[in-house]
Amino acid sequence: MNVRPSAVGTHRAGLSGAAAVPARRVASGTTGRTWLRRSVTGLPIAVVVLLASSMTGLLPVQVMRVGSDSMSPTIATGDLVLLDRGGGVERMDIVAVEHPDTGVLLVKRAVGVGGDRVSIEDGVLVVNGAGVCEPAIDPVRLDGVWFGPVTVPSGAIFVLGDDRASSIDSRAFGTVSAGAVRGLVEGRLWPAPGALPEDRC
């Protein structure tokens, strides 16, 4: 899943096109007080402040806009997600990671870490010999899909999209260095703010 960065895991795997509009002061009528208009391009002012802070590097977080549906239904095209730029990656975290060949920023699920043996057997993700129950994955679309097994090197991760039938991920470009991880996706800011769905059955 390609994402466009702006300058702004259990879960702990850029806002572009949303320019800030100058805030206007509006009269409050008989009181004579004025109030700062509380929306900018339709976004809550808290999101705008967070975006501006992350662009300046003041916060250890980054707001990003997702550019494809390869993590559907967990994350959709156009969603704004919040990245935590600190901490290590654990199995089943959703991460923003650089494509190892192009450097394009992708959002994927880290299904394997260093030393793990990963495969897909008739559509079922298998890690270290055990099937992984994934509530976000549609098994009908994965019927008959096989891959691997592969062993994840130390210091690397194996990433997959939740829309496994169409995602371009480690099955195509191999494992990714843990150093290429730009952050952990902590939750969604827009259009439905809150935590992402649980990754386990």
Q: What is the CATH number of the domain that holds 92?
A: 2.10.109.10
Split into its structural domains, the chain has a count of 1
**Could you say which of 6, 54, 72, 108 is catalytic?**
108
pLDDT tier at 109, thresholds 50, 70, 90: very high
pLDDT band at 58 (very low <50, low <70, confident <90, very high): low
Residue 107 belongs to some domain of the structure: yes
Q: What is the pLDDT of residues 38-48, one digit of tens each?
A: 333 455 655 55
In the residue annotation, 108 being an active-site residue is answered as yes
Residue at 110 is within a domain: yes
Q: In angstroms, rounded to a whole number, what is the distance separating the alpha carbons of residues 22 and 30?
A: 25
Residue pair 37/26 in contact (Cβ under 8 Å)? The answer is: yes
What b/e readout covers 122-136, taking b as 16+ CB neighbours within 10 angstroms? ebbbbbeeeebebeb
Task: Exactly one of 70, 72, 167, 170 is catalytic; name it.
Answer: 70
Q: Is residue 139 part of a domain?
A: yes
CA gyration radius for the chain?
Answer: 19
Average pLDDT over residues 115-128: 95
In-domain check, residue 201: no
Please provide the average confidence, as pLDDT, over all residues in the chain.
Answer: 76
Q: Is 125 part of any domain?
A: yes
- Structural contact between residues 185 and 82, judged by C-beta atoms closer than 8 angstroms: yes
Assess if residue 25 is contained within a domain.
no
In a domain, 11, yes or no: yes
- pTM, entire model: 0.70
In sequence order, the β-bridge partners of residue 95 are: 108, 184
pLDDT average, residue stretch 13-32 = 34
151-186 pLDDT, tens digit each = 999 999 999 999 988 899 999 999 999 999 999 998
Instruction: Note down the domain range covering 115.
Output: 3-19+36-190
Residue the block writes with tokens 């975290």 = 93
| Domain membership flag for residue 28 | no
The pLDDT of residue 196 is 86
**Is-catalytic flag, 53?**
no
